Chains A and B, each alone.
Chain A
C-alpha cells in the first residue's frame, strides 16, 4: 500500500490519448482514477464521486474546463483542488485559469512525471 492508494482523482479530457495516459500514470502511482471525455460528464462525475482532486482540460465540447472549474468553485465542495491541463499556453490563458480558482496549471505537451509530482504536491498540501 502506498500513501495515495484509493485517493479518487477525476480526469476530464476530450483527447482519448491524454485521458488514457493520465489515467495510466496516476493508476500506476496508486490513485483511483475516473476519466471522462467532456465537461458535462466531468461536472456530473464530480457531483457523484466527490473526488479528492480534479484534472481538467480547458478546451472540451459542451462545458469547457473553465466552466466546470467555475461550477466547482461555486458548489458546496469549493475547496477541492483543481489542476488545469491545457494546450492553451499564453500568459492570459494561465492568468484566467488561476483567476477562476485553479490550484495549478500544466501546459501540453506535458511531462507525465511532472504532472504526477504536481498532483502529489497539491494533495500533500491539502491533506
Chain B
C-alpha cells in the first residue's frame, strides 16, 4: 500500500466517523423530540387538572383525584410533568402535587431507582425524594453524593438542600472536596437551606483535608455569620496552606469578626503576602468597620498595586469620620482620587 493509499484510507475513515457522529446527534434529537411529543400527547387530556392543582385552584381535591386515577402509559407521562411543576411552585399546591406522586408509587420507587443503571432514572429519583421532602431517604441521598455520574451527585445535593436536614451537612461539605466532586455552588445553596444547624459542621470543615471544603466552609461561615467558626477562621487566615482558603477566611472575618481581628487582617496586607489575599484583607477591614484600621489602611494608599490602594481608600470611607478624614488628608494619587470621587457621589446620593 502506497502513502497515497494510506492517506485516502485515513481520510475516508475520518469522513465516516464524522458522518456517524452527525447521524448519532440527529438520531438523539429525533428520539428526544418524539419522546417529548408522545409525553405531551399523553398529558394533554390531563393538563387542565395539572394546572388546577399546581395553581391552588383545587379546593375540593377533584382535580388531584383525577390525576391520581390516571393509569397506563399516561401515568408515567403525568408524573414527569408533576415533577417538573413541583420544582416551580411552593406551598399547598406543592404538597398536593407531591401527594399525586405518592399515590402513583413514584416516591416509594425512588429509593430503588437510586440504584438503577440509568443515570437519568437515578437523578430523577434523587430529585423526587428532595421535592417530596422524604427525610427517611437521607442516608441514600448522602450515598448518592458519591455517584459516578455528576448529574446524580448534583441532584442528590439539591435534594438534601430541599429536605433541609442539617445532619447531612458534614457529608455534603466532605463531598465538595471528594474525588467525585460535588460542585461548590449547588452545595453552598443546599447548605444555606439547612439553616443554623450546620454551624458545627462548618467549624469542623475548616480543618478538613480538602482546600475546597475549607473554602466553602469559610465562605458560608461568613455568609451566615456563624460565630462558632470564628476561632477556626482566625487560624485559617494565619496558617492555612491554601491562599484561597485564607482569602475566604478574610472575607468571613470582615463580615463577622471582632475589633481584635484588625491586627491579623492588617498583617495579611503586608507586601510579602499574595496579592489577592492583600486585597481581600483590605476590603475586609472596611467591612469590619473598626476605626482602629485607619492607620494601616492609610499606609496602603501609596501601594504599588493600584487596585489594593483603591480598595484601601474605599474601605477608609466605610470607617466613618476618622477614615474619611484620613482619606481627605492623604497625598493625592489616582486611587485616592477615585475613592474621593466615590465619596462625593455617595454624599450626593444621600
Contact = CB atoms under 8 A, between A and B. Distances in A.
Interface of A: 15, 17-18, 20-21, 24-25, 28, 108-114
Nearest to A26: B55
A114 B54 CA distance: 13
A109 B94 contact: yes
Contact of A28 (B47, B55, B88): B55
Contact of B88 (A18, A24, A25): A18
Interface of B: 47, 51-52, 54-57, 81, 84-85, 87-94
A21 B85 contact: yes
Contacts of A18: 88
Given A17-B81, A25-B56, 17 more contacts: A15-B88, A17-B84, A20-B47, A21-B51, A21-B54, A21-B85, A21-B89, A24-B55, A28-B55, A109-B90, A111-B89, A111-B92, A111-B93, A112-B55, A112-B93, A113-B92, A113-B93
Contacts of A20: 47, 51
A31 to B, nearest CB: 13
A109 B88 contact: yes
A114 B91 contact: yes
B90 A110 contact: yes
8 contacts: A21-B51, A24-B52, A25-B57, A28-B55, A109-B89, A110-B89, A112-B54, A112-B89
Contacts of B54: 17, 21, 112
Contacts of B51: 20-21, 24
A58 B85 CA distance: 19
Q: Is the interface of A mostly helix, strand, loop or mixed?
A: helix
Tell me which of B55, B84, B88 has the highest count of chain A C-beta atoms within 10 A of its own C-beta.
Answer: B55
A83 to B, nearest CB: 16
Which of A28, A108, A111, A112 gathers most chain B CB within 10 Å? A112
Given A20-B51, A24-B52, A108 B88 contact: yes
Contacts of A21: 51, 54-55, 85, 88-89
Contacts of B89: 21, 109-112
A113 B55 CA distance: 7
B55 A109 contact: no
A15 B51 CA distance: 14
Contacts of B56: 25, 111-113
A15 B90 CA distance: 17
A94 B77 CA distance: 35
Closest 9 CB pairs of A and B: A111-B91, A25-B55, A24-B51, A112-B55, A109-B90, A113-B56, A24-B55, A112-B56, A109-B88
Nearest to A18: B88
Nearest to B81: A17
Contacts of A25: 55-57
Contacts of A112: 54-56, 89, 93
A121 to B, nearest CB: 17
A28 B91 contact: no
Nearest to B86: A109
A24 B52 CA distance: 8
A24 B90 contact: no
Contact of A113 (B84, B88, B91): B91
A5 B88 CA distance: 27
B286 to A, nearest CB: 18
A17 B55 contact: no
Contact of B57 (A15, A17, A24, A110): A24
B275 to A, nearest CB: 25
Contacts of A110: 88-90
